[in-house]
Amino acid sequence: MHQSNHKECLNCGYELGGNYCPNCGQSTSIHRITFRETIKDFFSSTFALEGPLLSTIKLLIVNPGKLFREFIGGKRKAYYKPVAFFVVLTAVLIIVRAVIGYDPFQEQPQMKSESVQEKARVLIDAGKFMVKHINHIMFFLVISIGLVSKLFFSKKYNLAEYVTIGFYISGIYILVGVVQMIVSVYITYITPQYNMILLFLYIIYASTSFHQKKSFLAVFKYVFMSLTAILLYVVLGFGFSFLMVWV
């Protein structure tokens, strides 16, 4: 439904009287999230990043489900846009990694067998490709979360709305990666594999917060969904990297 038919702003609840809310400035023309809007958001966010970043991160930590429901429901001005959130944190990850000189392979044991090393060379190169091109590879996580969420919870929200959630969850995963790099360089080394465990737990937490069902069956569904999303991400991300290196 077109937002202009509503009497109150979906973002702040203020009484409407024109094309823009007189209180918060959000457009009164708000539709359901679509891929067209997501693509438009991507290009606009690349050149004009704006929004309450810190408050968005805080809510994604303490109550992600509330942010998901409100943003999808039309409260867009109050939060950092999902694509912009993803782009900014990806840029932060790349910059921090370059500045501190983080090497994710620094603590990996060296292979002694030349034959084994040769066989594993392509796999190692694929892993390095993923790290070097993380700004592209992370998009597979966004898509994986969106697709799997739609598969498991198909009725209420469309695929584009679930992809929106994927951008937010992936942004938090990137933020965890930034913290892990800083701690590894300046305090003690933490293997990147722990990031994947935290991602698994966060998807479960965010899904529980979003859908607000806490029965045993629902929690089992969240766990299985989280595992499926991560496996799909690994298959797509590493598969793409392996293909690029192998070709």
**Total tally of structural domains belonging to the chain:** 1
Does residue 31 carry a pLDDT above 90? no
Q: Span 113-140, mean pLDDT?
A: 69
Q: Is-contact 123 238, C-beta < 8 A? A: no
Q: Does 1 reside within a domain?
A: no
4 occurs within a structural domain:
no
The number of beta carbons lying within 10 Å of the beta carbon of residue 246 is: 10
Q: Which residues pair with 15 in a beta bridge?
A: 8
pLDDT tens sequence across 145-169: 999 999 998 778 999 999 999 999 9
The domain in which residue 126 lies consists of 32-246
Note whether residue 199 is domain-resident. yes
Nearest residue to 79 (alpha-carbon basis) of 101, 100, 99, 52: 52
The strand pairing partners of 20, in sequence order, are 27
Lowest model confidence (mean pLDDT) among 24-28, 73-77, 208-212, 224-228? 24-28
> Among all chains, which residue has been given the structure tokens 């983080």?
102
DSSP alpha helix (H) spans, 13-158: 35-47, 53-62, 64-73, 82-100, 114-132, 134-152
Give the model's confidence band at 44: pLDDT under 50 very low, under 70 low, under 90 confident, else very high. low
What does the mean pLDDT of the chain come to?
82
Residue 6 lies in a domain: no
pTM for the full predicted model:
0.78
Give the helix, strand, coil percentages of the chain, each rounded to 5.
70, 0, 30
Identify residue 91 by its one-letter amino acid code.
Answer: A
Is residue 49 predicted with pLDDT exceeding 60? no
The verdict on residue 16 lying in a domain is no
In a domain, 14, yes or no: no
Residue 82's pLDDT is 92
